[in-house]
Amino acid sequence: MNEVLVIGAGIAGIQAALDLAEQGLRVHLVERLPSIGGRMAQLDKTFPTNDCSTCILAPKMVDCSRHPNIVPHTYSEVEAVEGEAGQFDVRVRKRARYVDETRCTGCGECASKCPRKVPDAFNLGLSQRRAIYLYFPQAVPMVMTIDPEQCTYLQRGKCGLCAQVCEAGAIDFEQQDLLLDLCVDAIVVATGFDFYNPAPLTQYGYQRYPNVITALEYERLISASGPTGGHLLRPSDGQPAKKIGFIQCTGSRHVRHNRYCSTVCCVHAIKEATLAWEHDHDADSYVFYTDLRGSGKGFREYMDRAGRAYGVTYVHGRVAQIFELGPGSDSAGETHKPVIRYEDATTGRVAEMAVDLAVLATSLVPAHDAPLLAGILGIDMDEYGFVKTEPFSPADTSRPGIVACGCCLGPADIPQSVAQASAAAARAAEIAWELVRPRHREKG
């Protein structure tokens, strides 16, 4: 039977893997992180339906993990690719978890005893996890992972509490990385994106001002399974945020940062504003935009509804700067209140607005290791660092046999990514099928 490699197990990779597996192809699904799920797992709800992200994603993750034609390789990375369409030789490094996947039940008893606390990457450092951890509560596979950098035992040979409490005997400090050699007909690249680190935009004060956060951080804050249990609390003092400013195009449509439009941020911000209102009907949100973009199905109605009914005000104007209310300001006692300065485009005058929380809509940028992966795969990237395709041939990369989908191609919303994933699956399946149809393929 023909095999296909899918790199990246976010929603695009999952969909591509399922579509391929359901066509009878064997799929190796390689994911760098300890769990499949990708960015979507970090989202609270999804626009324009406000569907609970986990509710719709989790069943797909489980389908993926149970599918007889899919082998998920989590905590694994592709290291080398050689050959050509129909005969790619791929080396995958399966990193040591120091936990036996076949024994671990994901019960978390070990984590409750682990003394070492570190920032939780899944929650963007807004909460803490232990050195042995479950990547997130609905992780697939539901197994623990030891962070070798943080584990006292692996670092200094002391502790080992986790091994003591694990009744399944799953802790294995001797575990080594595993190298897998795969032979596949086609490769689907679905490695997704990163969020732009807005630090270079010093005028917004990110990381300098505690109440200036990114849209993804906001997402974790408002998520019921997030660090605050879904309460929208200001990082500075844990007080509820009542007035929220959304700073669009943070790094996007900017020739010195990312000159493209990140596609999803307008509707994403409006969704986040809507959620604020759902949690607290007194919440007011202001969306500072350049163009308010939402041409997807149902988006414009969603935006109009938010403006009419959910306390969302749209302000035309890109934010120039964010300050913090200083000690001598009018609102005594209020500290760390971000003040947004912008041009009120309708009057042409500078205006300021104090808010409880300023949320930066940071650009979607190529994954940090995209250049490395492009080198390994031998595919061309476009001028922005996303995987390059030709017009009217949306799934094919520059190297025959390798196709791509999702945000590694550029910013895209979830339905776009899912549709692209199916398209990539179609092309990959065509390639695999092309090879069996003449029935002259030699045994490898």
Partner 1 sequence: MDGFESRRPQRIPQRRPWSITQQQTARGPGDDPRIGVFICHCGHNIAGYLDVAALVASARSLPFVVLAQDSLFTCSDAGLNQIRTAIAEHGLNRVVVASCTPRTHEPLFQSACDEAGLNRYLFEFVNIRDQCSWVHMEDGERATRKARDLIRMGVARAALLQPLTETELAIQPAAAVIGGGMAGMTAAGSLARRGFSVTLIEREPALGGSVRHLDTLYPNRTSARKLVEAQVAAVRAEPQIEVLTSAEVTAVRGSIGHFELEVESRQYRMKLPVQAGVVVVATGAEEWKPAGMYGYGHNPAVITQQELEERLSTGDLPPDLRSVVMIQCVGARDAHHPYCGRTCCLVAMKNAMILKEGNPACQVHVLYRDIEVYGTHFEDYYAQARELGVVFTRYTPDRPPEVVGDQGRAGDKQTPVPPGRVLVYDELLGATLAIPYDLLVLSTPMVPRPGARELAQMLKVPVDEHGFFLEAHVKLRPLDFATDGIYLCGSAHWPAHLDEAIGQALGAAARAATVLSKEQIRSSGIVSRVEESLCRGCERCATACEYGAIEFVDVTRSVEFLHRPMARGLETVHVKVARVNPMLCKGCGACAVVCPTSAMVASHFTGEQVAAMIRAALQAPAAMGEDHGTL
Partner 2 sequence: MEPFEPTILTFACNWCSYAGADLAGVSRIQYPPTTRVIRVMCSGRVSPVFILEALRHGADGVLVTGCHPGDCHYLSGNEKAVQNVEMARSLIQLLGIDPGRLRLEWISAAEGSRFAQLVTEFTDQIRELGANPLRNGHMGP
Cβ proximity to partner 1, 113 vs 242, nearer residue:
113
Q: In angstroms, what is the minimal distance from the CB of 115 to partner 1? A: 18
Cβ proximity to partner 2, 59 vs 125, nearer residue: 59
- Interacting residue with partner 1 among 84, 105, 176, 203 (CB under 8 A): 105
Measured CA distances, 182 to 148, 398, 401, 434 (Å): 27, 22, 15, 20
Cα–Cα distance for residue pair 15/410, rounded to 1 Å:
17
Q: Is 179 exposed, middle or buried (0-12, 13-18, 19+ CB in 10 A)?
A: exposed
Tokens 């179609």 identify what position? 426
Within 295-314, the residues that bind partner 1 by CB under 8 A are 295-301, 304
DSSP 66-95: H-TTEEEETTEEEEEEEEETTEEEEEEEE-
Shortest gap between Cβ of 68 and partner 1 (angstroms)? 5
Give the residue from 35, 37, 43 showing the smallest Cα distance to 230.
Answer: 43
Report if residue 178 touches partner 2, rule: CB under 8 A: no
Among 23, 69, 138, 329, binds partner 2 (CB under 8 A): 138
**Strand, coil or helix: 278:** helix
Work out the end-to-end distance of the chain between its first and last CA atoms, rounded to an integer number of angstroms: 12
Return the number of the residue (51 or 194) whose C-beta is nearest partner 2.
51
Q: Which does 68 bind (CB under 5 to 8 A by kind): partner 2, partner 1, none?
A: partner 1
**Residues 35-64: x/- map of binding to partner 2 (CB under 8 A)?**
---------x----xxxxxxxx-xx-----
3 state SS of 435: helix
One-letter amino acid for residue 206 of the chain: Y
* Binding at 200: pick from partner 2, partner 1, none (beta carbon under 5-8 Å per type): none
Least gap, CB of 350 to partner 1 (angstroms): 15
Total number of residues that touch partner 2 (CB under 8 A):
21
Site for partner 1 in 378-397 (CB under 8 A): 382, 384, 386, 391-395
Q: Residue 115 CB, nearest distance to partner 2 (Å)? A: 18
Binding mask 92-121 for partner 2 (x = CB under 8 A): ----------------x---x---------
Among 83, 160, 230, 240, binds partner 2 (CB under 8 A): 230
Contacts of 322 (CB under 8 A, 6+ apart): 203, 204, 205, 209, 212, 247, 338, 339, 340, 341, 358
Residue 52 touches which member of partner 2, partner 1, none, C-beta under 5-8 Å by kind: partner 2
- Per partner kind, with CB cut-offs from 5 to 8 A, the member of partner 2, partner 1, none near residue 300 is partner 1
Contact between 166 and 132 under an 8 Å Cβ cutoff? The reply is no
Look up tokens 């623990």; give the residue.
144
CA distance 174 to 172: 5
Length of the chain: 444
Choose, by CB under 8 A, the member of 119, 169, 200, 229 that binds partner 2: 229
Q: Residue 241 Cβ, how far from partner 2 at the closest point, in Å?
A: 19
Take residue 11 and report the two structure tokens written for it.
């929603």
With respect to partner 1, which residue has the nearer C-beta, 193 or 204?
193
Neighbours of 376 (CB within 10 A): 18
> Of 189 and 267, which CB lies nearer to partner 2 in the complex structure?
267
Antiparallel, parallel or unpaired: β 128-130 and 117-119: antiparallel
The binding site for partner 2 (CB under 8 A) comprises: 44, 49-56, 58-59, 108, 112, 134, 137-138, 223-225, 229-230
